[in-house]
């Protein structure tokens, strides 16, 4: 009986440690990931490893673009913009769209033709816009991020880290002209000639994970499936960055719901 008492007592004493956030995600769910709750890092792996960020790049492009005071101006689609590969709206050369709505297409659908059109409109050329993007990176004091194109294609010297992307996510979330687009699931933009383009968000967490309101997805062959997610639930603000995550949606769903609902995760 005495032996049973001590065994039972030992089990009871061990229970708080079991509840005290002993669960940890598998490190191989992504080449790098980082999740924070209310500004505090909770789970991470390889958070300072330089990796291609795919279209998460577009968040920095957006930070540059929202500084332009002429977002209501019309932007003419160039041949170069129309010929961009990857995800796009299939915009036509010489069509005109308001800059603010192209920004929406770039963030909601991750449209590369909208991205390149905005880069050329804002700075006069892709190269000049890229200079502005890398200057923004320096202004944010990000030591492990550099871009070689504005839209997120794989390229030499095009890289970031989960830690740097977390800082980028926080910066973009503080910009109302960016934030307004990040939780839109379906949208339509019209050209000046009234040609309409309808599209759905590339972020499959929206409307499926309670509390999630953004931020950005990405994919290239080299970068794999990438994601930055943000949401607020149960008085917790959660950010999640995942780079090269093969089961991005399933793993993000589990990480986010555990972060929101587990009382031991603070």
Query: SS3 of 253, please?
Result: helix
Spot the catalytic one: 31, 36, 45, 58.
Answer: 58
Contact indicator for 264, 234 with CB cutoff of 8 Å: no
Contact indicator for 165, 186 with CB cutoff of 8 Å: no
State the Cα–Cα distance between residues 11 and 5, nearest whole angstrom: 10
- Confidence class of residue 263 from pLDDT cuts 50, 70 and 90? confident
- Name the DSSP letter for residue 77: P
- Clarify whether 58 is annotated catalytic: yes
The reported pLDDT for the residue numbered 165 is 98
pTM of the model: 0.90
- Confidence class of residue 21 from pLDDT cuts 50, 70 and 90? low
pLDDT, average across residues 241-256:
98
> pLDDT tens digit string along 99-153?
999 999 999 999 999 999 999 999 999 999 999 999 999 999 999 999 999 999 9
Burial class (CB in 10 A: 0-12, 13-18, 19+), 20: exposed
The reported pLDDT for the residue numbered 220 is 98
Spot the catalytic one: 31, 36, 45, 55.
Answer: 55
- Using the predicted structure, report yes or no on whether residue 5 has a pLDDT greater than 60: no
The domain segmentation of the chain, as residue ranges, is 27-261
The reported pLDDT for the residue numbered 215 is 95
- Clarify whether 55 is annotated catalytic: yes
- Confidence class of residue 18 from pLDDT cuts 50, 70 and 90? very low
Q: Between 151 and 19, whose confidence is greater?
A: 151
Spot the catalytic one: 31, 36, 45, 110.
Answer: 110
Note the residue count of the chain: 266
> pLDDT tens digit string along 204-241?
999 999 999 999 999 999 999 999 999 999 999 999 99
Pick the CATH number of 27-261 from 1.20.1250.20, 3.40.710.10, 3.30.70.520, 3.40.50.740: 3.40.710.10
Identify each DSSP E strand in the chain by its residue range. 32-37, 40-45, 74-76, 96-98, 186-190, 196-200, 212-220, 224-233, 236-243
pLDDT, average across residues 12-29:
61
- Clarify whether 110 is annotated catalytic: yes
203, containing H or E segment: none
The reported pLDDT for the residue numbered 265 is 86
């Amino acid at each position: 009986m005495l032996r049973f008492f001590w065994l039972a007592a030992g089990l009871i004493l061990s229970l708080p440690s079991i509840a005290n956030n002993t669960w940890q995600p598998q490190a191989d769910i992504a080449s790098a990931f980082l999740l924070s709750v209310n500004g505090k890092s909770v789970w991470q792996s390889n958070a300072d490893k330089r990796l291609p960020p795919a279209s998460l790049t577009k968040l920095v492009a957006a930070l540059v673009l929202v500084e332009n005071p002429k977002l209501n101006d019309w932007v003419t689609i160039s041949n170069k913009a129309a010929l961009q590969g990857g995800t796009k709206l299939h915009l036509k050369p010489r069509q005109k769209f308001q800059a603010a709505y192209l920004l929406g297409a770039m963030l909601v659908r991750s449209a590369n033709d909208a991205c390149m059109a905005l880069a050329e409109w804002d700075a006069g050329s892709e190269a000049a816009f890229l200079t502005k993007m890398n200057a923004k990176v320096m202004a944010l004091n990000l030591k492990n991020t550099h871009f070689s194109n504005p839209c997120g294609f794989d390229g030499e010297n095009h890289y970031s880290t989960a830690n740097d992307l977390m800082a980028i996510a926080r910066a973009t979330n503080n910009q109302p002209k960016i934030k307004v687009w990040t939780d839109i699931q379906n949208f339509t933009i019209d050209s000046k000639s009234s040609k309409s383009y309808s599209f759905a968000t590339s972020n499959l967490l929206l409307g499926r994970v309670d509390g999630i309101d953004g931020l950005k997805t990405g994919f290239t062959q080299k970068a794999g499936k990438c994601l930055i997610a943000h949401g607020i639930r149960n008085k917790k603000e959660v950010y999640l960055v995942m780079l090269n995550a093969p089961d991005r949606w399933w793993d993000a769903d589990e990480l986010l719901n555990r972060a929101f609902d587990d009382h031991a995760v603070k």
